[in-house]
Amino acid sequence: MFRKNTSHESEIIQANLTTFVEATKVNVVTLSDAINDLSESVNANSRGNEQIANSATNVAQKTAEQLELVKDNLNLIEENNTSMQNIDAALTDIKTILDDTVNESNSGIRSIEQLDIDMKAMSNDLSRINDILSKFNNEIERISEVGDFIIEVVDQLKLLALNASIEAARAGEAGRGFSVVANEMNSMSTKTREGMDTISEILSEITDSSRMVNESIENCTNTYNKSNEAFTSVSDSFRTINESSHGIHNKLKDISSLFSDMSHNSDKSKMKAENLFETAEAISENTHEIAAVSEEVAAESVKIGANTENLDNMLTGIRNLLKQYNTAIVPTSRRTSKKVKILSMSMLDNDFWYSVRKGVLYAQKELEEYNAVVEYIPLIPGEFSLDEMVINSIRSAIDRGFDGIVFPGFLGGANRYFKEAASKGIKLMAYNCDCSKDIPRIACLRPDPMEPGILGAKAAEKKTDGHGNILMLTGDRSVGVNVERSEGFKNQLKNYKGVKVCAELTVPDNADQVYKIAKDGLNAHPEADVIFLTNGFPISVAKAIRDTGRIRKTSLVCFDHNQEIFSEIKSGIISAAIGQDAFGQGHDPVIWLYNHIVTGEKLDEFIPCKLSVVDKTNVESLIEV
């Protein structure tokens, strides 16, 4: 006999079924994304294989051309080697000639230097001879002066002899002896004068010869001086030739060394070219094998593509099956010929918003068969600020004629542009929290303002069995959701006389600061049995509980659902996590807005989203293995 289910058990089964259906929807989106990626990969792979096959054929052709080029290159290398050997031989001959030139120029320089020494010695000798001749000429001049003096004396003696002859004639016989002396003196004077004239002529000839010798010596000296300049120029030229020959010789040595390296490299290049030739032959053979393998891979890609299509059909079947368990709003059965275009945007910086995105994508898949386009815009500030990204998205929707925009209500920085979109006839729907009252949105899908805090208080009371102390960590109070959660929590606690708030601390939207404040709060209030956190950093608080040694003494009640939080629930650090149907917040507004655009039916101003609590009683089914 079957036992009849109690009301409580039925509620648990219903809740678990709802959780299963919602989780299946999430998994359908995940699988759909994976299948789309796989399908694109298969198509890309198929196209790639076709390209590989075509490329393999082209490679084979190019490889054949490459083989010919390698052969031509080998021949050119061989010719270059021969030419380089000839050039090397010519350089060796030039080196030999230059060596001979260097030796001859060295010998010429030595001969010129020796000739210069001899010429200098000759110049010195001529200078000394010139000095001697100058002294000799001076002596001749002195002799000439003495001769003039002797002639003068002779003339006087001759005059005396004449006078003596006259006096001897007067004296008669007595003066005969004087007459003889006078005649002798006259004769001697005549001979002396004739001798002096001869001496004077000889001295004149010697003087003329000496003058000619002096002129010859001066001409030799001038000629030497001119020759010395020419010798110096020739010597400099020889030295220049010698230095240039040395320079050319050294350069030829460098060139010869380079040619040696080039020859060595040419040999290596030849070896590499031969290896390249062998490699090209191997590539040519392997290319044909690649083409064959590519054809086989292409055939397998076709099979994978078929299997991917089967998986996609299975997902379509699962989506149709899920329609039988309507846990959320479904598209209207009414059809429209006009394509409906809806833009949905959300933050994308934590697990809550990742689940919101999956809800949007599920709605996107649902509405594909309803002639509707759903475009998702993730808001991840980077190059642009958050406000700029929202404004650009709104402008784009206006320019492209979209029919509706779904947006989180806290995007107040773009209010003017939301109003402009509404003035253009675009339907607006907010979710998560309401937008400014002056924005003409058609509805807002959001949790009941106080309900999350009420569920948090119930979880805390359950954990403490009705008697315990609560440490409240309230997020930025300028964000309405933190205030609402805090007020709902404290109002519900009034129903539990044994549960008290021992302290309420304000925490910023920063993981490190939340950790520090939570840790300091636990140290200051060791009596705390439960921490209630209103904002989105539960893992930071879990770490503070662990690091202060408060495991099994203090637990956490928080918001949002993800695998990290589920893991901490299983460990006992988190006692309960309240979910605000992130998937539904992405999915439901899109479907509500689509239905309104198609049917024109008015929506309730506020549409509540489902809330759920995960604790130890139901966490196992949610943990991914």
pLDDT value, residue 568: 97
| pLDDT mean over 342-346 | 97
What is the tens place of the pLDDT at every residue in 71-101?
Answer: 676 677 777 667 667 776 766 777 677 677 7
The Cα angle at residue 384 between residues 381 and 386, in degrees rounded to 5 = 50
- Same domain membership, residue 486 and residue 402: no
Say if 54 falls within a structural domain.
no
- Which range has the top average pLDDT, 187-191, 296-300, 494-498, 578-582? 494-498
| pLDDT mean over 301-311 | 61
pLDDT value, residue 191: 76
- Same domain membership, residue 414 and residue 462: no
> If residue 115 lies in a helix (H) or strand (E), which one and from where to where?
helix 7-171
Using left for φ > 0, alpha for ψ between -120 and 50, and beta otherwise, residue 490 falls in alpha
pLDDT value, residue 510: 94
- Same domain membership, residue 405 and residue 335: yes
CATH code for position 416: 3.40.50.2300
- Same domain membership, residue 361 and residue 417: yes
Last residue in a domain, options 562, 579, 596: 579
- Which range has the top average pLDDT, 116-125, 142-151, 183-192, 571-580? 571-580
Euclidean distance between CA atoms 417 and 397, whole angstroms:
11
Classify burial at 31, counting beta carbons within 10 Å of its beta carbon; exposed 0-12, middle 13-18, buried 19 or more. Answer: middle
Q: Is the pLDDT of residue 330 over 50?
A: yes
Query: Higher model confidence: residue 27 or residue 77?
Result: 77
pLDDT band at 216 (very low <50, low <70, confident <90, very high): confident
Please give the full DSSP string across 216-252, using - where no structure is assigned: HHHHHHHHHHHHHHHHHHHHHHHHHHHHHHHHHHHHH
* Best CA proximity match to 611, nearest among 568, 561, 536, 570: 561
- Distance from chain centroid for Cα 407: 40
Domain of 367 in residue numbering reads as 330-444+586-605
From edge to edge, which strands make up the β-sheet containing 499-506?
Answer: 499-506, 468-474, 530-533, 555-559, 574-579, 612-614
The tokens describing 337, both together, are: 């010929």
List phi, psi (to 5°) of 334.
Answer: -70, 145
Cβ atoms 63, 290 nearer than 8 A: no
- Same domain membership, residue 369 and residue 345: yes
pLDDT band at 106 (very low <50, low <70, confident <90, very high): confident
The tokens describing 299, both together, are: 């055939």
The tokens describing 546, both together, are: 């662990």
Euclidean distance between CA atoms 215 and 67, whole angstroms:
89
pLDDT band at 259 (very low <50, low <70, confident <90, very high): low
Euclidean distance between CA atoms 548 and 556, whole angstroms:
14
pLDDT value, residue 361: 96
Q: Which of 198-207, 254-263, 411-420, 545-554 has the lowest mean pLDDT?
A: 254-263
pLDDT value, residue 452: 94
Q: Is the pLDDT of residue 501 over 60?
A: yes
Query: Higher model confidence: residue 603 or residue 122?
Result: 603
Cβ atoms 420, 452 nearer than 8 A: no
Who contacts 535 (Cβ-Cβ below 8 Å, separation ≥6)? Answer: 473, 474, 475, 476, 479, 482, 507, 509, 514
Q: Which of 26-40, 85-99, 223-237, 244-258 has the lowest mean pLDDT?
A: 26-40
Euclidean distance between CA atoms 474 and 352, whole angstroms:
19
- Which range has the top average pLDDT, 60-69, 176-185, 241-250, 505-514? 505-514
Say if 126 falls within a structural domain.
no
pLDDT value, residue 556: 98
- Same domain membership, residue 497 and residue 440: no
Query: pLDDT above 90 covers what percent of the chain?
Result: 40
Q: Are strands 427-431 and 443-446 parallel, antiparallel or unpaired?
A: parallel
Who contacts 16 (Cβ-Cβ below 8 Å, separation ≥6)? Answer: 618, 621
- Same domain membership, residue 469 and residue 534: yes
The full 3-state SS of 142-192, as one line of letters, equals HHHHHHHHHHHHHHHHHHHHHHHHHHHHHHHHHHHHHHHHHHHHHHHHHHH
Say if 25 falls within a structural domain.
no
From edge to edge, which strands make up the β-sheet containing 340-347?
Answer: 372-379, 340-347, 404-408, 427-431, 443-446, 606-608
Say if 302 falls within a structural domain.
no
- Which range has the top average pLDDT, 112-126, 450-464, 607-621? 450-464
Q: Is the pLDDT of residue 471 over 80?
A: yes
Say whether 600 sits in a helix, a strand or coil: coil
Query: Higher model confidence: residue 91 or residue 207?
Result: 207
The tokens describing 387, both together, are: 């406000």
pLDDT value, residue 315: 52
- Same domain membership, residue 440 and residue 460: no
Q: Are strands 404-408 and 499-506 parallel, antiparallel or unpaired?
A: unpaired
Query: Higher model confidence: residue 595 or residue 67?
Result: 595
pLDDT value, residue 219: 75
Say if 362 falls within a structural domain.
yes
What is the tens place of the pLDDT at every residue in 424-450?
Answer: 999 999 999 899 999 999 999 998 889
The structural domain count of the chain equals 2
- Same domain membership, residue 438 and residue 342: yes
The tokens describing 180, both together, are: 């003889």
pLDDT band at 479 (very low <50, low <70, confident <90, very high): confident
pLDDT value, residue 324: 39
Q: Is the pLDDT of residue 3 over 50?
A: no
CA contacts within 13 A on the Cβ side of 341 = 10
Cβ atoms 358, 30 nearer than 8 A: yes
| pLDDT mean over 417-422 | 97
The full 3-state SS of 487-533, as one line of letters, equals HHHHHHHCCCCCEEEEEEEECCCCHHHHHHHHHHHHHHCCCCCEEEE
What is the tens place of the pLDDT at every residue in 349-397?
Answer: 878 899 999 999 999 999 999 999 999 999 998 878 999 999 999 999 9
The tokens describing 51, both together, are: 């390209």
pLDDT value, residue 326: 46
| pLDDT mean over 564-582 | 94
Q: Is the pLDDT of residue 347 over 70?
A: yes
Q: 386 - beta bridge partners?
A: none
As a whole number, the mean pLDDT across the chain is 80
Query: Higher model confidence: residue 113 or residue 561?
Result: 561
pLDDT band at 1 (very low <50, low <70, confident <90, very high): very low
pLDDT value, residue 344: 98
Say if 217 falls within a structural domain.
no
User: How much is the pTM?
Assistant: 0.53
Long-range contacts made by residues 75-78, C-beta under 8 angstroms, separation at least 24?
A: 77/266, 77/269, 77/270, 77/273, 78/270
| 288 DSSP 8-state letter | H
Query: Higher model confidence: residue 314 or residue 277?
Result: 277
List phi, psi (to 5°) of 373.
Answer: -120, 125
What is the tens place of the pLDDT at every residue in 120-139?
Answer: 777 676 677 777 767 777 77
| pLDDT mean over 300-313 | 60
CA contacts within 13 A on the Cβ side of 17 = 11
Say if 144 falls within a structural domain.
no
Tell me which amino acid residue 233 is.
S
pLDDT value, residue 2: 40
Q: How far is CA 87 from CA 49, 90, 248, 259, 479, in A?
A: 53, 5, 16, 9, 88
What is the tens place of the pLDDT at every residue in 537-562?
Answer: 999 999 999 999 999 999 999 998 88
Residue 6 CB coordination number (10 Å): 9
- Which range has the top average pLDDT, 58-67, 172-181, 579-588? 579-588
- Same domain membership, residue 515 and residue 456: yes
Say if 383 falls within a structural domain.
yes
- Same domain membership, residue 464 and residue 397: no
- Same domain membership, residue 493 and residue 436: no
pLDDT value, residue 291: 60
Euclidean distance between CA atoms 568 and 553, whole angstroms:
15
Query: pLDDT above 70 covers what percent of the chain?
Result: 69
pLDDT value, residue 82: 75
pLDDT value, residue 247: 72
Who contacts 260 (Cβ-Cβ below 8 Å, separation ≥6)? Answer: 88
